Amino acid sequence: MRTIKGPAVFLAQFMGNEAPFNTLDGICEWAADKGYLGIQIPTWDGRLIDLEKAASSKTYCDDLKGKIADHGLQITELSTHLQGQLVASHPTYDTQYDNFAPATVQGNPVARQQWAVEQLKHAAKASQHLGLTSHVTFSGALAWPFLYPWPQRPDGLVETAFKELGRRWKPILDVFDECGVNVGYELHPGEDLYDGSSFEMFLEQVGGHIRAGINYDPSHFILQCLDYLQFIDLYHDRIYAFHVKDAEFNPTGKQGVYGGYQSWVNRAGRFRSLGDGQVDFSGIFSRLSQYGYDGWAVLEWECCIKSSEQGATEGAMFIEDHIIQVTERAFDDFAGGASDEALNKKLLGIQ
C-alpha cells in the first residue's frame, strides 16, 4: 500500500497583480512559508510557465524544476482547465469562453478549438519533460445546455455529443499516452463530464483509453448530492489526481441544487474553505489510502466567505493532518506464524 503526498496547492486562484502573487519566485516562497510541499501550475499564466517552451525544451523544464526546488517545492501537475474547456464548447458560451484564449483566435471558434488542442498536446510533452505522470484539465461541453430533459431532447442528441467529444479527445489522449502521462478530468458542472455516468459515457467513446481518468474533487459531488465515498469505490482505478476542496449543501423551501440564480454566498450549495463545509475528508483520505492512491492532495481554494490567505494558511495544516501514513504490516502480525500448508490442511480437515 502507498501513501498520499502533500500538502500541495493549486496556484490558479492565488495569482494576482501584487507581490508575492505576481511572480513564480514570489508565490513559491509564499507557498513554502505556508507549509506546502507541492504546487499545481495553471499553464495559461505565462508568469509561471512558458508552455510551448516547456514542450520543446527539456533544459527549460530542468531549470524550471530547479528554480521551484530551491524553495523546497515540487510540481505536482500542470493544469489546462481553461484550454480543455475550449476543446469542446457549445456556441451558447462562445463570447464568455473567448476570454480563455489569446486575442489571435478570439471570435473564431474553429481556430480557438485548434489552439486549445495544441495547448493540450504541449502540456503532454511538457509534463513528460518535467517528469510528471499526471495532468489535470476540463473536458469541455457540447451537451451541457441540454442537461435538463425539457424541452424533450431529440433522440440521439446526447449520444452524438459524446461521440464528437470522444472524437476530439482521443488523439489528445494518444499524445499523453506517448508521453507516459495520465489525464485527470475534473468532473465539474458546466462540463459534459460531471459525474460517474457521464464519465463512463465518455470512456466508452474513447475505447476505455487507459490515460482517461479523473481529478477527484468531492466539492462538486456534494453540490450534486452524489455519494462521493462510494464514487471512490467505483472509480478508484481511474483517479489520477485529487483536488481537496470543501463545500456545503443546505436546501431550503426556496432553493435546491440549481440555486435559484443566486450569488455564491446566497446559494443552497456553495464552496467553502477546508473544514468549514460538509465534506467527510477523513472518510475520503481513508478510502483513497485503502486503494493505494499515492498522488498529491492539492488544495483548491474557493470559498464565498473566508479569505484566500486564511484558507491557504489553514489548508496546508488541514491536508497534512488528514494524510494517513499507510501501514506496511497488519496490526495482528504479532500473533501470527510462518506459513505452513500442512497445518492449514489440518485446521481445515483436509486429508
Q: The domain that contains 285 carries what CATH number?
A: 3.20.20.150
Of the pLDDT bands very low, low, confident and very high (cuts 50, 70, 90), residue 192 is very high
The reported pTM is 0.95
Q: Whole-angstrom Cα distance, residue 220 to residue 302?
A: 12
How far is 116 from 125, CA to CA, in rounded Å? 15
Neighbours of 192 (CB within 10 A): 25
Average pLDDT of the segment spanning 156-169: 98
The count of structural domains within the chain is: 1
pLDDT, the chain, mean: 96
Please give the Cα distance from 344 to 331 (Å, whole number): 21
Question: What is the mean pLDDT of the segment spanning 86-114?
Answer: 97
Query: pLDDT tens digit string along 283-332?
Result: 999 999 999 999 999 999 999 999 999 999 999 999 999 999 998 877 66
Grid look-up 466567505 returns: 305
pLDDT tens digit string along 10-50?
999 999 999 999 999 999 999 999 999 999 999 999 999 99
Our separate counts of H helices and E strands in the chain read 13, 10
Domain that holds residue 50: 5-348
Q: Is the dihedral of CA 244, 274, 43, 69 positive or negative?
A: negative
Whether the pLDDT of residue 179 is over 70: the answer is yes
Query: Using only C-alpha atoms, what is the Rg of the chain?
Result: 22
What is the pLDDT at residue 336? 75
Model confidence band, residue 1 (pLDDT cutoffs 50, 70, 90): low
Q: Cα separation of 333 and 339, whole Å?
A: 12
Residues 6 or more apart from 33 whose CB is under 8 A from it? none
Q: What gap in Å lies between CA 240 and CA 293, rounded to an integer?
A: 8
